[in-house]
Amino acid sequence: HNYQNESVDNLIKHAQIQQAATFLRAGETVAFPTETVYGLGANALSDIATGKIFEAKGRPSDNPLIVHIAEQNQLVDIVDNIPPLAIKLMEHFWPGPLTLVLPKGKKVCKSVSAGLDTVAVRIPQHPIALALLKACQLPIAAPSANRSGRPSPTTAEHVLEDLSGKIAGVVDGGAAGVGLESTVVDVTGKVPMILRPGGVTMDQLRHVVGEVLVDPAITDSDQKHGDEAFIPKSPGVKYQHYAPKGQMWLVSEDFGLEKMRERLQALVKRDREAGYRVAVLTTDEGVDQYTADHVVSLGQRNNLDSVASKIYASLRTCDQMGIERIYAEAFPKSGVGMAIMNRLLKAADGKMLGTE
Ligand code: TXA
Ligand code: MG
């Protein structure tokens, strides 16, 4: 069904949305599209309901969930108090791909916050997500709707690939928008801190609230893989995520795109001669320059939004094609590039090759 041009109020009346809302009210799990990736939802006020999310995903119980709401007034049940900084951020970025970590309210069930005294909340922007949240009149806990450790789903097909038979259903709304998860920002301290880079960029945040920090665990693990000194404040960040079945490496662009492509093609050639099935993740500018078993363009280098939207789907395609080794071009870390590089490095388990 094409929901793009329908209003939230119209969508609420759809049989699919009503059915999904009924499942959610009955304590079942339902997957639905958001403007970032597909989420797997359950009643955030019920431990039994949210327990089903952990079970379906195979998610470690110490990894808390994001609570999704349709309107700011629902916060009264979920959070304890709202710092002024947080209000500013909500006004600018909600509905949208920004998740705020706030002091936890009493009604939120234990498994949602995984025992922390904070809770992560966002108002999504996707009309179907909003219609579903309004129809069920509950705060809905929803992590990405993939099996734990797999690339996040950006289509309903991806959801079924991972969770078919394990959930009550999925609302199919076509491809999700951004393609990468929301930015998670801790607003419980004096200065907001990015715990996970995502759809809302650091520059956008700084524009609204001035100083913004980045959890050192993120920047550090992006650079020095394997250093145990930093434990991320966002529990989910420590798990190896987004992993394709094949091994993956990034190739640095620090010494120019030409050097990057030369090195990358040499690696592909070596591995193919050794008998591996090899894929390359590149952009429109690079597609013609590689010979591999599978060459994917993520869009254009000067349009990082298109790159972001295609990463997860391209990793899943590599899996389906039985790709054993993936080489990906690196991107600049500015704008949404910060989230792109964070996800690519995770998929590559931190492995980045230089060109000098
Ligand atoms: O875009 C998104 O955020 C998607 C869609 C479905 O909304 N959801 C999503 O959820 O990505 P999930 O569970 O895959 O990632 C949630 C992240 C994890 O890294 C988790 O550790 C962190 O948010 N998180 C949740 N609650 C937290 C808390 N109280 N403090 C710190 N980090 C928290
Ligand atoms: Mg996830």
What is the per-residue DSSP string for 174-188? Answer: SS-SSSSPPEEEE-S
Q: Is the alpha carbon torsion for 7, 10, 12, 15 positive or negative?
A: negative
Cα angle 171-173-177, degrees, rounded to a multiple of 5:
130
Which residue(s) pair with 211 in the sheet? none
Decide: 188 in ligand 1 pocket, CB within 6 A.
no
Question: What pLDDT is attached to residue 185?
Answer: 98
Task: State yes or no: ipTM above 0.90.
Answer: yes
Tokens representing residue 197 in the block: 């880079």
Report the separation in Å between the CA atom of 71 and the middle of ligand 1, taken as the mean of its atom positions: 19
Q: Are 77 and 107 in contact (CB under 8 A)?
A: yes
C-alpha R_g of the chain? 20
Question: What pLDDT is attached to residue 224?
Answer: 45
Got the DSSP string for 241-253? Answer: -S--SSEEEEE--
Q: Are 95 and 199 in contact (CB under 8 A)?
A: no
Atom of ligand 1 nearest to the CA of 145: 6
Report the separation in Å between the CA atom of 265 and the middle of ligand 1, taken as the mean of its atom positions: 36
Q: Is 314 helix (H, G, I), strand (E, B) or coil?
A: helix
Decide: 101 in ligand 1 pocket, CB within 6 A.
yes
Report the separation in Å between the CA atom of 96 and the middle of ligand 1, taken as the mean of its atom positions: 14
Report the separation in Å between the CA atom of 60 and the middle of ligand 2, taken as the mean of its atom positions: 12
| Closest ligand (CA of 148) | 2
With CA atoms as reference, report the closest residue to 242 among 297, 308, 294, 287. 308
Report the separation in Å between the CA atom of 336 and the middle of ligand 2, taken as the mean of its atom positions: 18
Phi-psi domain of 79 (left: phi exceeds 0; alpha: psi -120 through 50; beta: other):
beta
Report the separation in Å between the CA atom of 65 and the middle of ligand 1, taken as the mean of its atom positions: 5
Phi-psi domain of 290 (left: phi exceeds 0; alpha: psi -120 through 50; beta: other):
beta
Residue 121 burial (CB < 10 Å; 0-12/13-18/19+)? buried
Instruction: Using most ligand atoms within 8 A of CB, pick from 30, 78, 99 the residue to mutate for ligand 1.
Output: 99
With CA atoms as reference, report the closest residue to 37 among 173, 149, 240, 214. 173
How many Cβ atoms sit within 10 Å of the Cβ of residue 332? 12
Tokens representing residue 82 in the block: 């709202």
Atom of ligand 1 nearest to the CA of 68: 7
Tokens representing residue 216 in the block: 């050192």
pTM of the entire predicted model: 0.94
Phi-psi domain of 228 (left: phi exceeds 0; alpha: psi -120 through 50; beta: other):
alpha
The span from the CA of 345 to the CA of 110, in Å, is 31
95-to-37, 45, 55, 283, 335 alpha-carbon distances in Å: 15, 21, 29, 30, 20
Instruction: Using most ligand atoms within 8 A of CB, pick from 101, 234, 237, 343 the residue to mutate for ligand 1.
Output: 234
Tokens representing residue 119 in the block: 């809770």
| Closest ligand (CA of 237) | 1
- For atom 31 of ligand 1, the residue with the nearest CA is 234
Atom of ligand 1 nearest to the CA of 181: 1
How does pLDDT run along the chain (356 residues), one tens digit per residue? Answer: 566 678 999 999 999 999 999 999 999 999 999 999 999 999 999 999 999 999 999 999 999 999 999 999 999 989 999 999 999 999 999 999 999 999 999 999 999 999 999 999 999 999 999 999 999 999 999 999 999 989 999 999 999 999 999 999 999 999 999 999 999 999 999 999 999 999 999 999 999 999 999 998 887 655 444 444 445 566 665 556 678 999 999 999 998 999 999 999 999 999 999 999 999 999 999 999 999 999 999 999 999 999 999 999 999 999 999 999 999 999 999 999 999 999 999 999 989 998 87
Atom of ligand 1 nearest to the CA of 113: 29
Q: Is the alpha carbon torsion for 12, 18, 20, 24 positive or negative?
A: positive
| Closest ligand (CA of 146) | 2
Decide: 99 in ligand 1 pocket, CB within 6 A.
yes
Q: Which residues contact 84 (CB under 8 A, 6 or more apart)?
A: none
Decide: 118 in ligand 1 pocket, CB within 6 A.
yes
Q: How, if at all, do strands 193-196 and 183-186 pair? A: antiparallel
Q: Are 209 and 192 in contact (CB under 8 A)?
A: yes
Residue 232 burial (CB < 10 Å; 0-12/13-18/19+)? middle
